[in-house]
Chains A and B, each alone.
Chain A
Amino acid sequence: MENTNNNPFLPHTEKDRRAMLEEIDRKSIDELFEDIPLSVKLNKDLELPEALSEMEVKKHLKKIAEKNKNIDEYISFLGGGIYDHYVPSVVGHVLGRSEFYTSYTPYQAEISQGILQSMFEYQTMIAELTGMDLSNASIYDGATATAEAAIRAVAITRNDEIIVSSALNPTYREVLKTYLEAQGFTLRTLPQSNGETDMSYLPDMLNENTACVILQSPNYFGIIEDYSKLKDILGESKALFVSVVDPISLALLEPPSTWGADIVVGDGQSLGNPTSFGGPLLGFFAAKEKYMRKMPGRMVGEAKDKDSNTGYVLTLQTREQHIRREKATSNICSNQALNVLAACVYLSVMGKEGIKEVANLSLQKAHYAKRKLKELDNVTIMFDDKPFFKEFLIKVPGKASEVRDALAQKGIFAGIDVGAYYEELDGCLLLSVTEKRTKEEIDYLVSSLGEVIK
Chain B
Amino acid sequence: MVRTRPDLSYTKEHEWVKVEDGKAYVGITYYAQEQLGDIVFVELPEVDDDFSRDEEVCVVESVKAVADIYAPISGTIEEVNEKLLDNPEIVNSDPYGEGWLFMMSISDEGELNDLLTAEEYEKILEEEGEG
| Chain A residues proximal to chain B, CB less than 8 Å | 158, 293, 319, 323-324
Do A324 and B66 touch (CB < 8 A)?
yes
Do A158 and B46 touch (CB < 8 A)?
yes
Cα A158 to Cα B43 with chains together (Å): 14
Cα A60 to Cα B65 with chains together (Å): 56
CB distance from B101 to the nearest CB of A (A): 16
**Which of chain B's residues 49-94 have a Cβ closer than 8 Å to chain A?**
49, 65-66
Cα A319 to Cα B43 with chains together (Å): 14
CB distance from A99 to the nearest CB of B (A): 30
Cα A381 to Cα B43 with chains together (Å): 52
CB distance from B89 to the nearest CB of A (A): 16
With A323-B65, A323-B66 known, 6 other A-B pairs at CB within 8 A are A158-B46, A158-B49, A293-B41, A293-B43, A319-B66, A324-B66
CB distance from B48 to the nearest CB of A (A): 10
Cα A319 to Cα B49 with chains together (Å): 24
CB distance from B70 to the nearest CB of A (A): 14
CB distance from A332 to the nearest CB of B (A): 19
Chain B residues closer than 8 Å to A319, beta-carbon distance:
66
* A-B CB contact pairs (8 Å), 8 listed: A158-B46, A158-B49, A293-B41, A293-B43, A319-B66, A323-B65, A323-B66, A324-B66
Number of interface residues, chain B, beta carbon within 8 A: 6
**CB closest chain-A residue, reference B59:** A327
**CB closest chain-B residue, reference A157:** B46
Cα A323 to Cα B49 with chains together (Å): 26
CB distance from A289 to the nearest CB of B (A): 11
**CB closest chain-A residue, reference B46:** A158
CB distance from B47 to the nearest CB of A (A): 11
Cα A293 to Cα B41 with chains together (Å): 9
Chain A residues closer than 8 Å to B65, beta-carbon distance:
323
**CB closest chain-B residue, reference A290:** B85
Chain B residues closer than 8 Å to A293, beta-carbon distance:
41, 43
Cα A438 to Cα B118 with chains together (Å): 80
Cα A293 to Cα B66 with chains together (Å): 13
Chain A residues closer than 8 Å to B43, beta-carbon distance:
293
Cα A323 to Cα B66 with chains together (Å): 8
Chain A residues closer than 8 Å to B49, beta-carbon distance:
158
CB distance from A154 to the nearest CB of B (A): 13
Cα A233 to Cα B65 with chains together (Å): 42
Cα A372 to Cα B46 with chains together (Å): 57
**CB closest chain-A residue, reference B61:** A293
Cα A129 to Cα B79 with chains together (Å): 38
Chain A residues closer than 8 Å to B46, beta-carbon distance:
158
Cα A349 to Cα B49 with chains together (Å): 50
CB distance from B23 to the nearest CB of A (A): 22
Cα A319 to Cα B66 with chains together (Å): 10
Cα A44 to Cα B49 with chains together (Å): 64
CB distance from A12 to the nearest CB of B (A): 45
Cα A324 to Cα B59 with chains together (Å): 12
**CB closest chain-A residue, reference B45:** A158
CB distance from B119 to the nearest CB of A (A): 33
**Which of chain B's residues 11-47 have a Cβ closer than 8 Å to chain A?**
41, 43, 46
CB distance from A276 to the nearest CB of B (A): 38
The 7 A-B pairs with the shortest beta carbon distances in the complex, nearest first, are A324-B66, A323-B66, A158-B46, A293-B41, A293-B43, A158-B49, A323-B65
Cα A323 to Cα B46 with chains together (Å): 24
CB distance from B69 to the nearest CB of A (A): 13
